[in-house]
Structure 1
Amino acid sequence: MKKCPECGNPSYDGAPVCGNCGYKFPKPKVKAPMQEDIFEDRPIINKSGNEQSTLEIIKENKIVIGAILLITLIVIGIIIATGPTTDNSTKVDGLNKYTDANASFSYPSNWKDVNGSDELHYGAIFFEGSNGTEIEYYNVTSEFSSIYEINTQRISSAQENGDYVNTILPLQIDGKNTSNVILENADGTFTRYVSLLNNGNLYVFKINGKTLNDTTSSEIESVLQSVHIG
């Protein structure tokens, strides 16, 4: 029950007006039901004032990050510097093995790679063997058609240079007939030319030694017999 504020007459709660004086009661306010919060099951993460942002962490650790980047660049540089080179030598069974596009041969591991020059044969490689013996190897495209032509050219060049033809002996390398000419030079040293002709390419070992035995040693012969063409 409620009372009329004007005349005090009692009325029931839902009466719109007072039955005694006609006072209009104000309409009651309807309270909206509480709706379910769609986020009520999700945990609320509160950031404390002490937590750092990602940017602040990066700024504080920029020295460490810089050091890591520097070390990474150094490692990459070392890998590049020590990576594959143009050296065609590999080690097999205690021997070094040289390989190019058309030929390969093995040579003693105590032979030294040395710098040499041959203006007529660019790309020639040089080794120093026992007793200071110098071994030059190269392969070139050739106009020679036979071993006979190669021997003739060697003899002619020797005569022009005042060298003496010491030896012309038959030789086989990799199952192929090979030119084998030894010259005694004007200064008393010896030069041996071992030349193999195959499919228009000329493969040459030029061996310079102080004595004849230096150019024909078992060491030299083992290298020549290890040659494989093709």
Structure 2
Amino acid sequence: MKKCPECGNPSYDGAPVCGNCGYKFPKPKVKAIREEDIFEDRPIINKNGNEPSTLQILKDNKLVIGAILLITIIVIGIIIATGPATETSTSVDGAQKYSNAGVSFTYPSDWSETNGSDELHEDAIFFEGSNGTFIEYYTVSSEFSSIYEINSQRISSAQENGDYINTIQTIQLDGKNTSDVVLENYDGSYTRYVSLLSNGNLYVLKFNGNTLDSVTSNETEAVLQSIHIE
């Protein structure tokens, strides 16, 4: 119930006017209900106040993360830098394939890489073939400009060492003129130098055997014919 401010007559709460004097009661104010804005920005509250944020973790460990990234970059760089020059030996149709620094050739599967030494060519690799044949392969930078110069050098070296020149000829390997020199050494053994000149590099296969047949066999010729220079 409410009372009229003019005459004091009681009226019910919802009455628009006083029933005694006709006084118009003012309309009641309606309190607006505040609607929640689902897009309102709110602070992110960490349920567990003791747990650091992701950003804080990154800041606290930036030295460790930086070291890991640096090591990763170095490892990738080493792989890229050393990858193309890596020696590989793979099996191809029952034979082995050697590939390194732009040259490749295949050799019989019963050949095995062996230890050897060459003071003039420290990067040389060595194989032990059949019939007691030993094979050496190496690549060197060369100032030779022709097969003639290579053959002349082989002749001079043979004469100095007292070796007999059994054969000296020019053959074709991988479409290129190649020096092929067979020497009969002073002790009766044989050495064959097959030297291919390409783009300032000299690629040499050197065969050592007890007989002429061991350094000129069909097996040896197959290896020579498989040489490829990129």
TM-score (norm 1): 0.62
Partners of 2:192 and 2:139 lie apart in 1 by 16
Partners of 1:159 and 1:187 lie apart in 2 by 14
Q: Which residue of 2 aligns with 1:179?
A: 179
2:134–2:207 CA contact under 8 A, matched in 1: yes
Matches within 5 A, 1:187-198: 187-198=187-198
Partners of 2:130 and 2:101 lie apart in 1 by 27
Q: Which residue of 1 aligns with 2:165?
A: 165
Partners of 1:95 and 1:173 lie apart in 2 by 19
Question: SS of 2:145's equivalent?
Answer: coil
Segments of 5+ residues of structure 2 without an aligned counterpart are 1-82
Question: SS of 2:191's equivalent?
Answer: strand
Q: In the TM superposition, what is the alpha-carbon distance from 1:87 to its structure 2 partner?
A: 4.8
Q: Which residue of 2 aligns with 1:118?
A: 118
2:87–2:100 CA contact under 8 A, matched in 1: no
Question: SS of 1:116's equivalent?
Answer: coil
Deviations 1:127-168 (A, max 9, x none): 011101000001111011110000000000000000001101
Q: Which residue of 2 aligns with 1:72?
A: none
Q: Which residue of 2 aligns with 1:99?
A: 99
Pairwise CA RMSD? 1.2
Partners of 2:109 and 2:87 lie apart in 1 by 15
Deviations 1:191-228 (A, max 9, x none): 00000000000000010010001000000000000000
- Confirm or deny that 1:140 pairs with 2:125: no
Question: SS of 2:179's equivalent?
Answer: strand
Partners of 1:186 and 1:122 lie apart in 2 by 25
- The worse-fitting range, judged by mean Cα deviation, of 116-125 and 87-96 is 87-96
> Residue type of the partner of 1:147?
I
> Residue type of the partner of 1:118?
D
Q: Which residue of 2 aligns with 1:149?
A: 149
Partners of 1:157 and 1:95 lie apart in 2 by 34
Larger radius of gyration: 1
Question: SS of 1:223's equivalent?
Answer: helix
Question: SS of 1:170's equivalent?
Answer: strand
Q: Which residue of 1 aligns with 2:222?
A: 222
Question: SS of 2:188's equivalent?
Answer: coil
Percent identity for Structure 1 against Structure 2? 71
> Residue type of the partner of 1:181?
V
Partners of 1:169 and 1:143 lie apart in 2 by 20
Q: In the TM superposition, what is the alpha-carbon distance from 1:88 to its structure 2 partner?
A: 1.7
> Residue type of the partner of 1:155?
I
Q: Which residue of 1 aligns with 2:63?
A: none
Partners of 2:125 and 2:216 lie apart in 1 by 20
Partners of 1:182 and 1:93 lie apart in 2 by 30
Partners of 1:87 and 1:154 lie apart in 2 by 28
Runs of 4+ more than 4 Å apart: none
Q: In the TM superposition, what is the alpha-carbon distance from 1:170 to its structure 2 partner?
A: 2.1
Partners of 1:140 and 1:164 lie apart in 2 by 25
TM-score (norm 2): 0.62
Matches within 5 A, 1:27-42: none
Q: In the TM superposition, what is the alpha-carbon distance from 1:93 to its structure 2 partner?
A: 1.1
